[in-house]
Amino acid sequence: MTSPPSEALAPRNAPRRSTLFACGAVGATLLASIALGHDGRRIAQLAVLAMPMVLWLAWPIRSARMRSARTVLVWLWTMGFALDAAVRAYLLDTYQAAPDGAMVLGAAANTNARESSEYLWMHWRSAVIWTGALAVAGVLVGMFARRGAAFDAGGSSARTRSSFWTRSLVLVLLLIACVAYASKPWRRLHPAIFWAGWAQSVHTLRATWAGQEKVRDRLMAQAKAIAPVALQAGPSTVVLVITDSINRDNMALYGYGRPTTPRLLAHKAQAGEQMAVLKNAWSVDASTLPALRNMFHFGLPESENPPHLLALARAAGYKVWWISNHDDLAIEQQHARLADVVDMVNRTPGRASASLDGEILDCVQEAFADTSTDRKLIVVHLMGAHPHYSLRFPENANPFDDDVDAVENGLVKDGRSAWVRRFRQEYDAALLYHDFVVSELLQQTRSAGKPGEDRAWMYLSDHGQEVGHGSDRAGHSPSTASGYRIPTVIWRNREPLPSVAAQQQPFRADWTGWALMDLLKIRWSGQMPERNVLGDAYRWQAPAIPVAVESFSR
């Protein structure tokens, strides 16, 4: 008996429908993945670049082995695009940054395997979510890529004609893809090409940092040519304490609800008018490298060929120490090696190492005890509250652990998740230990020096930190004001500081150099009195930062 036409065509058309469905499913998964990390025209560009492998599924292949190879290659191709999109989406969501942006390139060039693993450990929740999304995409592609077209030698003429038109359409689409690959702006978006170039950029950046000796020689020659002059005879010691990731909103010194800075508060009560707490201090950068670059180059752009503060201090007759609890190649090469004495206390790779900031106190005391010079600039670089927060204070030294207080209740009211509230507890414990270290540094500076010696001390953070203040997350935050809100405290023993009213004026961390030159009492040709927060001519100018700030005076 002859089968009805519909019954005969159904099984014959089934493979073709299966192939089209496979192409559609793989293409849809690929497009959805691309849309996660790109927007607008970029989605279309990436879709065209990704198209060849999807079209290959519609091209009949006779050999079973070749079909298996095709499945594997299509899967790898698709997952390459998906992984690219997932990384971009994560960076965009977390930092509002592209992978080839200066912030991400700088962080990647300035990291190592251990630090990367520590970062993933802290952010494992996000890693699990994005890994899960990639796993789902991988399973879907694996399921449907196996259903690519197979060659059917016994096909009917109708299906042969259909195959002809299908192949013609595939060829036209492949031609469009070839044109896209011939265009450099399109081609460089391909994940393999983009990430190869990205890796080269990171390598070049590291090489640039490693070859800083000539740059340092140029900076010293530039400083000597400027010929800065120390205005006052006699001994002088200035201490600059730069810490990491401290948000002033978490300091009791700034009105926070937990007792995180009892020692600094005691210093303030004792020192009176000799100690100024700048209530409205801001960083203009949300990460360490650009923040330090701005501090030591007076916030001036590279185009103006600005001098380096440490080079100027040395040229004016100061002996300079750099004492650091960071193991950081970029900072060491760009700044620390300009000092006369470099003491990198922490030589364990990874900024998230367990080296506590208290380890530097003996080194600082040795610098104070040095008798080889009457003029000293001691730069101290602390880990502060750099994540992991739990590594920034001694074990079992968290008095806020599971403490249900007004701060905890406020976080609950604001809808902060349990893990963010936990990070807040650890962060506040880190600030309590940090208060001890910073207060010891201030006490060392305030201790009696040589008769008639000028002593000054300045403390600030490179940038802030988001710990459930403006959003339900913890860490560096270029997208919220918390990433820029920092403490700044100044003490000096012989000259008055700005009045209480003047201390309410906003302050920019990239203008630190102008105030420090005042504390060093150095005169030089590039002075800009309107940027020195310690002077009567100071005039605030709001910085351009990538977040909306209601007021810089709060």
CA dist., res. 431 & res. 487, Å (int): 12
Distances, alpha carbon 51 to alpha carbons 41, 149, 155, 184, in Å = 16, 16, 27, 17
Q: The tokens of 100 are what?
A: 């080839």
Is pTM beyond 0.85? Reply is no
For residue range 253-280, list pLDDT tens digits in order: 999 999 999 999 999 999 999 999 999 9
Pairing of strands 236-243, 280-282: unpaired
Per-residue pLDDT for the chain (554 aa), expressed as one digit of tens each?
Answer: 444 544 444 454 555 677 777 778 888 888 888 888 887 788 888 888 888 888 788 777 788 888 888 889 988 988 898 999 888 888 877 776 788 876 688 778 877 666 666 676 777 777 788 888 888 888 888 888 887 767 665 555 444 555 666 667 767 777 887 877 788 888 888 889 999 999 998 888 888 777 788 899 999 999 999 999 999 888 999 999 999 999 999 999 999 999 999 999 999 999 999 999 999 999 999 999 999 999 999 999 999 999 999 999 999 999 999 999 987 778 988 999 999 999 988 755 444 456 899 999 999 999 999 999 999 999 999 999 998 899 999 999 999 997 789 999 999 999 999 999 999 999 999 999 999 999 999 999 999 788 889 999 999 999 999 999 999 999 989 989 999 999 999 999 988 898 888 889 999 999 999 999 999 999 999 899 999 999 999 999 999 999 989 899 98
For residue range 362-411, list pLDDT tens digits in order: 999 999 999 999 999 999 999 999 988 999 999 999 999 977 899 999 99
Bond preceding residue 388 cis, omega within 30 of 0: yes
Half-sphere CA count of 77, side-chain side, radius 13 A: 22
- What's 485's DSSP letter? B
CA dist., res. 507 & res. 485, Å (int): 10
Q: The tokens of 33 are what?
A: 């993945």
Residue 457 pairs in a beta bridge with: 239, 491
Q: Are 355 and 391 in contact (CB under 8 A)?
A: no
For residue range 313-326, list pLDDT tens digits in order: 999 999 999 999 98
Given this model, what pLDDT does residue 382 score? 96
CA dist., res. 108 & res. 469, Å (int): 27
CA dist., res. 447 & res. 470, Å (int): 40
CA dist., res. 80 & res. 310, Å (int): 46
- What's 496's DSSP letter? P
What are residue 379's phi and psi, to 5 degrees? -100, 125
Q: Are 379 and 353 in contact (CB under 8 A)?
A: no
